[in-house]
Amino acid sequence: MPAPIKPRHISVIITTYNSPDALRLTLKAFDLQTRRDFELVVADDGSGADTATVIDEFRAESDLPLIHVWHEDRGFRKCEILNRAIESATGDYLIFTDGDCIPRPDFVSVHHNEAEPRRFLSGTYNNLPPSFAEIITESTVGSGEAFQLKWLRSHGLPRSRKALRLTPYKTLAGILNRLTTTHPTWNGCNASGWKSDLEAVNGFDERMRYGGLDRELGLRLNNAGIKGKQIRFKAICLHIDHDRGYMNEKDLQDNLAIREATLRERSTFTPYGIRKAA
Q: Per mean pLDDT, which of 121-125, 158-162, 245-249 is the most reliable?
A: 121-125
Contact 184, 228 (CB under 8 A): yes
SS3 assignment, position 165: helix
Answering whether pTM is above 0.85, one says: yes
> How confident is the model at residue 174, as a pLDDT?
85
Q: Is the model's pLDDT at 1 over the cut of 50?
A: no
CATH T-level topology, domain 10-265: Spore Coat Polysaccharide Biosynthesis Protein SpsA; Chain A (3.90.550)
Left if phi > 0, otherwise alpha if psi is -120 to 50, otherwise beta: which for 64? beta
- Can you name the residues that pair with 39 across neighbouring β-strands? 11
Where residue 162 falls among pLDDT bands split at 50, 70, 90? confident
State pLDDT tens for residues 3-31: 458 999 999 999 999 999 999 999 999 99
Mean pLDDT of all residues in the chain?
A: 93
DSSP assignment string, 198-221: HHHTTS--TT--SSSHHHHHHHHH
> How confident is the model at residue 245, as a pLDDT?
62
Domain coordinates in residue numbering, the chain: 10-265
